[in-house]
Amino acid sequence: MTKSQLDSTPHGQLSASGESVSLKNVWRVLKRDQDTGDQPVFPPDVVVAVKALACELPYEHGIPVSRLSKSEIQRAAIERGIVASIGETTVWRWLSEDAIRPWCFRSWIFPRDPDFQQKAARVLDLYEGKWRGRPLTAGDYVISTDEKTSIQARNRKHPTLPPQPGRPMRVEHEYKRCGAWAYLAAWDVRRARIFGRCEESSGIEPFERLVKQVMRRRPYCTADRVFWIMDNGSSHRGEACVRRLQDRWPNIVPVHTPIHASWLNQIEIYFSIVQRKALTPNDFESRIEVDQRLMDFQNHYQAIAQPFEWKFTRRDLRKLLRKLDGCPLRARCA
């Protein structure tokens, strides 16, 4: 689509349906059918111009907003002479039917790790039961680990009200902070086992206590290899972490995800379940109550846990990276 013109056309030069008098020989205007009550049909050029207007960045034209509402698009279309008159409903219908939705956005981090594909592929191979092209054996285990930090105990300033007919539960907006925990957890990807603990804060020592909690148990202490998938947080970053873990536990194989790729770490799926099922709404009188809830939920979940159905593979990774390589924003940022 081409950009709409910024110069306005005087309203007197426009027909009732929005066409310019100078373009009368080009556009065949379809008038309102008085008998049937049909709505006026706008020429395709008008539809395209309004969609182009909606896709513009308003602040580039001196409008101090980040995006336009349908009423602002309607007003701008009339002021710029794109159309003499048009309803908000028509604008909404055109935009909602179009493939481009300028009022929607997603937060996004483009892969910036130079070894992104190589590191991500190693993790995906482990989820498929492979390492360096060879199948994992019965003596190999895969652990996914991370920390869920700053889990607050929020004591509401008014008691939570139970649901009533036609009214949901009511949770007071204001609260008093009663401390916070860092919840460290490890997920056995192939056996669906969960291990976790609450710590005052995250860090190297709390993380090593979690590793000890897992590695002192069978079958991990006697396993041939235990792959630990982890991100690049300060608690377990880089070669220093690899040396620390392998000096203490020779059968550990640390595997770091690429930078900004926590979505490759299966423990994040478990954390999302914890957030929805155990911590929302957050209404706790003390940190002790939060700790008890997390441990009780961990035990409850363990009784019903199944391995996650992970379907993203190396093939999907290649498709994603090819798509990102062709993204104009990526090229501009590079």
The CATH code of the domain that includes 198 is 3.30.420.10
122 and 88 both lie in a single domain: no
81 and 141 both lie in a single domain: no
| Residue 203, in any domain of the structure | yes
Q: Are 145 and 210 in contact (CB under 8 A)?
A: yes
Ranges 18-32, 209-223, 252-266, 279-293: which has the least confidence: 18-32
15 and 66 both lie in a single domain: yes
Q: Which of 97, 126, 147 represents a domain boundary (last residue)?
A: 97
- Residue 204 pLDDT: 95
| Residue 334, in any domain of the structure | no
82 and 217 both lie in a single domain: no
187 and 283 both lie in a single domain: yes
Q: Could you report the per-residue pLDDT of 76-110, keeping only the tens digit for each?
A: 899 889 999 999 999 988 888 888 777 777 777 77
Q: Is residue 9's pLDDT more than 80?
A: no
User: Residue 129 — left, alpha, or beta (φ > 0 → left; ψ -120 to 50 → alpha)?
Assistant: left
Q: What is this structure's pTM?
A: 0.74
According to DSSP, the β-strands at 134-135 and 140-156 are unpaired
Residue 143: give the domain boundaries.
116-159+171-325
Identify which of 242, 306, 248, 245 has the alpha carbon closest to the alpha carbon of residue 273: 306
Q: Is residue 270's pLDDT more than 60?
A: yes
298 and 231 both lie in a single domain: yes
130 burial level (CB within 10 Å; 0-12, 13-18, 19+): middle
- Residue 39 pLDDT: 58
| Residue 110, in any domain of the structure | no
Three-state DSSP class for 66? coil
